[in-house]
Structure 1
């Protein structure tokens, strides 16, 4: 295990890829409007011909660097680089106006690494246990896990549950296009030869997360103007001790929220900030006026969310957020099986991923503390220069999948679809998951029914007989119930009563 964790530290090729991947993620993260999901998606198309470990390791580095980089523009120009960095604007930008931009970035850099390390520790402790549990999974359990993943990501995405299920249903339907893997029968091809191989989900991801984001950003053309005074960088050492209790509490918040598929850093950062406001009795300054605690809490929570989000991704095959959904697709491309069997079939890859994330945290310190002035200039790049570059990479990436213009057309089509979905507040993540998970759900469902000698009733009854199946079935039912108005009303009342008693 230790040898595998140290591979990214000792292999110079992997070390260079992680360094460059982290830097690319940081630069992307601090450009307002460009999501980490887009960056990782573009990387999937560029690295699908690489060997497995270099490709996955690079994407993990971009993931961590991008999440960290999102708060830089929040602090420097009061424009969140991503949804998860919204809470950083509350106290980050007031610090910049006070001439303490360097200290603000220094604090977030140090606590980003601490939060990320705590998240990885939780990942290392939880994954082996869940991997051993996976040996008892049957076909019906795999079906329930994938179905639960669609429900959770849909339910926790923007918009209503009905919208999420509708989009996921479209994705599942599109995922069925092509040859049936069990019978070889054509489905939804309408006699078109190009549809026999199905719809490539890389082109789908490039369109939904890449090109659609370009369309969304077109109305914000121009150059963001800012006059940033950096000042000193490192905060007083005493703060590391003073903020330790808050760090541990908000890291736990981040891990727990990350484990919930679909929740993501935008939720954990706001919960952590609210927690800091309610629990810190003597902040360095009033919250909203440049309190250091107002930066520590969301930064620790966001970075620890990464480790939490990878727990369901690597152990159950359920994405913790949109980025891990893309990573599942990337791992599938390279012949891996993210989910219960990953720890059984390729345990060495899990520990290499963990080691790569640790190396990425080290490079976050390097880039975060040495290139602050550079970051302050990068955020001023006009979007009319940046957007054509993104379009170029989406076109090249989609064409390079199979050297087919048809994939470019699919990418453009999904770009338009993604733009319309975002315009009318529909989540895009469930569609990608539907395309990826739909065919697998279909196969496992039919295998489960076959094991019950073709009896649908036998399949249903088996869900309540076997312990693992029963637990997963209850989770599915709970997820469906939790979206009803009655349940939300009851939960809100219980939460209010609990808050009053605590006060």
Structure 2
């Protein structure tokens, strides 16, 4: 208890109070801007933290992370444009409420849910993290070896780029971690005689290049579109009926967010989608969702803030980043000379409890400032990419130089920036690569020590209770998807993915050979479900599933490179918050959750593809043609008439 009180004393120091405020404000601003996520922002700002105390630096970086979760709510509600990946499901009911003149109530309940979910998650973090850290004190090299492998595999499993691409990126990250002198033999590896590589590749150029410069280059391909939104929102306090309807959703969202946030690869995106799906299933009137259900705003916003907080548990207690943003914060701690892990609680209690307790203050600041800053957020959206991008690039390159006063580091940033751009173009998520690079040294050192301990006998990992349990979990993550694929091949008539779902299904959702809607031969209900007004995009659909920019016909047939509804989440700018695949449970729940497979980036220019991907009836492509759901609804009635005539 004394350590907790000392942590509050650390937070209340003027410098820490100031940087906590700076962090949450920057986080909210970044959450509003589509294209720049918290991982990219933290990577770009890393050089600015070198002159700060470790606890002050981490307090600011943590504020950026959980502050960004709320920032995306503003554009989701007002503009139907998710600023953050975790806010995409908030669009469905948030914007519907805004069109009913209740934008204030939607933003108010989002702020309350975010505050409650974040606070409850911090309380659980305060109670659970020391217990986990105490348990982790029994970890040795075998346990850390398997834990690092499990973390990389879990993140790769649900990566937005697909399993094979994610594992390939992770392998490259592990290879980059071996550059430099061998810790055991002092032999140089992959240095090519370059003295600048003798000590290995620094984390900062990799993070700034992949997440910062690479993301900017990718986003510049998108055309910036003007944003028009109200700068004043009134009646932000929800009614008693709204609070009563949302209370259960807020409680359940807090639990879901906390649990999924702890898991490697879970994060805010998966948590928000799972919470939305649960509320829709539990509702006695699921048809309300997508039309302005207040619970559809409360549940995902509560869950994503709870997950953002609980993701610090594996980082601070075990030294294992749960997602790409946590990997960047992990690197920031290493730069400050602090090694995250079970010893952090005992060796640096002021840092551990200072960061944890700062989150209480940060959540209060978010609750107080979110609505008054609404006008500022909307004005920032009007900044053209031609102005914002060069400034960001300049900050990135100058920051890279200041790390070691080395021009070589600038070259590394540019090189990794180009690599990040090419990875995004090819559909690779950079998150697993950065996570593997961060864990690479720990994995190599622990593995070699374990092999010395077991006399090169790999079965020794199974002889210890903790490492054996983790090894079984690791094997399960590898084998279960393979078993599911084999079963699917034996029974091709029983697709393992819901209609319009992923790439594993051998039956396209309403594909070219399908003569009936996915809902069934006699069904008049489209694939999205009973509440859906958007068909699966089958052979009769006149609009591509990918949205305005998609040239791939709906149905995701054999020649299609894009699945019918996309199994991967396309909007995650950081690759993590890798954090980012579409929950199958959400896809099954209706068309509101069908996310297109085409990826859109940009500082506001990817609005049309995001809108089309979430089934926006008002979405238009750059040429002004209705896309996705709009075209389907326009042509749905004539198609039915034509089918009736053919049947006669």
TM bracket, shorter-chain basis:
over 0.9
1:429 to 428, 431, 437: 431
Residue number in structure 2 paired with 1:277: 280
Corresponding residue for residue 326 of structure 2: 324
Q: Which residue of 1 aligns with 2:143?
A: 141
Structure 1 residue ranges without an equivalent (≥5): none
Q: Deviations over 1:98-153 (max 9, x none)?
A: 23222221111111111111221222222111111112111111111112221111
Residue number in structure 1 paired with 2:87: 85
Per-residue CA deviation, residues 56-80 of structure 1 (Å, 9 max, x unaligned), is 1110111111121112111111111
Q: For each residue in 1:438-482, what CA deviation from the matched residue of structure 2 results, as whole angstroms up to 9, or x when unmatched?
A: 122111222222234xx212xx23211111111111121112123
Pairing partner for 2:190 from 175, 188, 191: 188
Which of 267, 281, 284 aligns to 1:264? It is 267
After superposition, the C-alpha distances for 1:266-285 in whole angstroms (9 at most, x for unaligned) are 211111111111213358x9
Deviation at 1:8, TM superposition (A): 4.9
* 1:245 matched residue in structure 2: 248
CA contact (8 A) 1:99 1:231 kept: no
Deviation at 1:488, TM superposition (A): 9.0
Partner of 2:464: 466
Residues 374-422 of structure 1, C-alpha deviation per residue, up to 9 Å, x if partnerless?
A: 2222222222211112111111111111011111111111111111111
Pairing partner for 2:112 from 98, 110, 116? 110
2:121 is aligned with 1:123: no
**1:14 pairs with 2:12:** no
Q: Measure, in 1, the Cα distance between the counterparts of 2:253 and 2:12.
A: 32
Counterparts of 2:86 and 2:483 in 1: how far apart (Å)?
27
Which residue among 233, 236, 239 is the counterpart of 1:233? 236
Of residues 5-14 and 160-169 in structure 1, the stretch that sits farther from structure 2 once superposed is 5-14
- Cα gap change, 1:253/1:51 in structure 2, threshold over 3 Å: closer, same or farther? same
CA distance in 2, matches of 1:347, 1:215: 41
Query: How far is the alpha carbon of 1:242 from its aligned partner?
Result: 3.6
In 2 relative to 1, CA 420–487 (structure 1 residues): closer, same or farther, beyond 3 Å?
Answer: same
Q: Contact conserved, 1:25 with 1:36, CA < 8 A, in 2?
A: yes
Q: Deviation of residue 20 (structure 1)?
A: 1.4
* Contact 2:70 2:114 (8 Å CA) reproduced: yes
Q: Are the structure 2 counterparts of residues 489 and 160 from structure 1 closer, same or farther at C-alpha, using a change threshold of 3 Å? A: farther
* In 1, Cα distance between equivalents of 2:336 and 2:252: 37
Give the Cα–Cα distance (whole angstroms) in 1 for the partners of residues 285 and 6 of structure 2: 44
Say if 2:32 and 2:72, in contact at 8 Å, map to a contact too.
yes
The answer for the alignment partner of 2:304 in structure 1 is 302
5 Å-filtered alignment, 1:142-157, equals 142-157=144-159
Which structure has the highest helix share of the two? 1
* 1:328-386 superposed Cα distances (whole Å, 9 cap, x missing partner): 11111112221233234323322111111111101101211322222222222222211
Whole-Å separation in 2 of the counterparts to 1:27 and 1:299: 17
Alpha-carbon RMSD across the aligned residues, in angstroms, is 2.1
User: Which residue of structure 2 lines up, in the alignment, with residue 477 of structure 1?
Assistant: 475
State the 1:15 CA deviation: 0.7
Give the one of 371, 384, 387 matched to 1:385: 387
**Unaligned ranges ≥5, structure 2:** 489-493, 499-584, 586-648
Asked if structure 2 preserves the Cα contact closer than 8 Å seen for 1:19 and 1:363, the reply is yes
Checking the alignment, whether the CA contact within 8 Å between 2:10 and 2:350 is kept in structure 1 is no
Q: TM-score, normalised on structure 2?
A: 0.72
Report the TM-score when normalising by structure 1: 0.93
> Structure 2: how far apart are the matches of 1:100 and 1:245?
21
SS at match of 2:220: helix
Q: Contact 2:245/2:295 (CA < 8 Å) preserved in 1?
A: no
Distance 2:272 2:328 in 1: 22
- 2:75 maps to 73
**Which residue of the partner structure matches residue 224 of structure 1?**
226
Q: Relative to structure 1, is the Cα distance of residues 489 and 121 closer, same or farther in structure 2, using a 3 angstrom cutoff?
A: farther
Does residue 456 (structure 1) correspond to residue 459 (structure 2)? The answer is no
Matched, 1:96 2:94: no
CA deviation vs aligned residue, 1:141-195 (integer Å, no higher than 9, x gap): 1111112221111112112222111111111111111111222211111211111
1:160 aligns with 2:162: yes
Q: Which residue is 1:396 aligned to?
A: 398
> How far did 1:435 drift?
1.9
Aligned to 1:51: 53
Match of 2:292 in 1: 290
Q: Which of the numbers 8, 31, 36 marks the counterpart of 1:34?
A: 36
SS in 1 for 2:185: coil
CA contact (8 A) 1:254 1:300 kept: yes
Q: Check the 8 A contact 1:153/1:261 in 2, yes or no.
A: yes
Cα distance, 1:219 vs structure 2: 2.2
TM-superposition CA deviations, 1:300-343 (whole Å, max 9, x none): 11111112211222222222222111111111111222123323
Following TM superposition, by how much is the alpha carbon of 1:223 offset from its aligned partner in structure 2, in angstroms? 3.8
Q: Which has the higher contact order (CA 8 A, sep 6+)?
A: 1
From the superposition, tell whether residues 82 and 349 of structure 1 become closer, same or farther in structure 2 (CA, over 3 Å): same
Other-structure match for 2:377: 375
Matched residue count: 491
Q: Secondary structure at the match of 1:370?
A: coil
Question: Could you tell me how far apart the structure 2 residues matched to 1:383 and 1:99 are?
Answer: 30
